[in-house]
Amino acid sequence: MSRLDGKSVAILATFGFEQSELEQPREALAQAGARVHVVSPEADAITGWKGSDWGGAVPVDRPLGLADPGDYDAVVLPGGQINPDILRTKPEAVDFVRAMWRDGKPVAAICHGPWMVIEAGLAEGRAMTSYPSIRTDVENAGGRWEDAEVVADAGLVTSRNPHDLPAFSERLIDEIAEGGPYARAA
């Protein structure tokens, strides 16, 4: 039996996601036994960003309008500058993240992904990290920014950049396997 058998994870993304920040956690979660869906405001496929140009297309498993936060045990928010900047302007995307958090499910964001954490109102009082260029955004939202490869605070998992993906994925898998922040508080 794998650590995440029976668990489902949403990766919330749109055009311009950092290619590795979607693909590597998706692979790690699947290898741990989770069912992983790419959830997006788009219906068919989304294209990532790799290096200094567009990357490859990734199929959308579930359009955001049809995705129910109750069907998932965690949500992953990949970075890249474009992806989270677009998503944070979509009320249904922000509501999806809020619902996951409200229900005590892990929220994991990497690179610029913490912009979604900020937009959802989840940063205040939380230890977090991010890509260094949005440190001020995290701090202005009330987050306690740390320069570390992964920071976990009661179900909120954050990392700085693609180099941190192994630690990010490992900590996220631990959070899901432990049942989220509410399970540990009980």
Say if residues 27 and 41 touch (Cβ distance below 8 Å). Answer: no
112 is catalytic: yes
Instruction: Quickly list H helices, the chain.
Output: 19-31, 82-87, 91-102, 114-119, 135-140, 165-177, 180-185
183, with CB counted inside 10 A (0-12, 13-18, 19+), is exposed
The tokens for 158 are 């954050």
Which of 112, 135, 160, 171 is catalytic? The answer is 112
CA distance 69 to 130: 24
Say if residues 162 and 143 touch (Cβ distance below 8 Å). Answer: no
CA distance 186 to 172: 20
Give the catalytic positions in this structure.
112
